[in-house]
């Protein structure tokens, strides 16, 4: 297959936006894969803020960071991403170049604990103000679970009405696959 699958495409977008020394956000820590990936992109002079409401996610992610010797420049936060403005250091505001949210539930975890449109939109609004020019927010929208379609619809309504003069917004996904495949919405702050 020549087309990039969803998660590899999300990483391609992050690789274009994030350089060593940059500040990044993992809005949904989960099993730590994106936190580790961002830590590799930012390097030891950068910083990754990573959020999750489930203690299990922090434990899994901390172990992955330790195994890769990347824990020194990552802050793992046991709180919802809608609280991100409480945790981002003031000197990092305006310098965030990349962020990713994998929406839905923690793979292998409690499927009744899911992301919600109102908290995700709140996080996007706060984060957008802290983005560097040409910084990018990536939403990987999983919507095939109970509650997923409600979140998807609210997010799509939000991004479709986002002011064009403030951001470029892209939707990327496969349209002929069964079982409600995930898709990406990427928000790039205009320079």
Segment 137-164, tens digit of pLDDT: 999 999 999 999 999 999 999 999 999 9
Contacts of 90 by beta carbon, 8 Å cutoff, 6+ apart: none
Confidence check: pLDDT of 108 > 90: no
∠ CA 7-128-107, nearest 5°, is: 30
For all residues of the chain together, what is the average pLDDT? 96
Q: Residue 109 — very low, low, confident or very high, per pLDDT cuts 50/70/90?
A: confident
Is there a contact between 57 and 26 (Cβ–Cβ < 8 Å)? no
Confidence check: pLDDT of 107 > 90: no
State the pLDDT at residue 9.
97
Is there a contact between 24 and 147 (Cβ–Cβ < 8 Å)? no
Other CB atoms within a 10 A radius of the CB of residue 12 amount to: 11
pTM: 0.96
pLDDT tens for residues 10-27?
Answer: 999 999 999 999 999 999
């Amino acid at each position: 297959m020549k087309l990039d699958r969803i998660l590899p495409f999300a990483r391609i977008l992050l690789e274009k936006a994030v350089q060593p020394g940059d500040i990044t956000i993992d809005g949904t820590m989960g099993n730590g894969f994106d936190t580790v990936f961002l830590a590799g992109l930012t390097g030891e002079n950068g910083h990754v803020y990573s959020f999750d409401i489930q203690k299990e996610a922090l434990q899994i992610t901390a172990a992955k960071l330790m195994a890769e010797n990347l824990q020194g420049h990552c802050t793992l936060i046991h709180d919802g991403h809608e609280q991100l403005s409480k945790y981002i250091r003031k000197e990092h505001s305006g310098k965030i170049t990349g962020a990713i949210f994998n929406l839905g539930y923690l793979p292998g975890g409690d499927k009744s604990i899911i992301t919600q449109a109102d908290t995700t939109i709140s996080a996007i609004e706060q984060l957008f103000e802290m983005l560097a020019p040409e910084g990018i927010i990536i939403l990987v929208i999983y919507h095939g679970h109970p509650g997923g379609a409600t979140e998807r619809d609210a997010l799509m309504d939000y991004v479709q009405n986002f002011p064009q003069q403030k951001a470029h917004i892209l939707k990327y996904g496969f349209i002929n696959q069964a079982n409600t495949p995930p898709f990406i919405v990427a928000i790039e702050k205009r320079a």
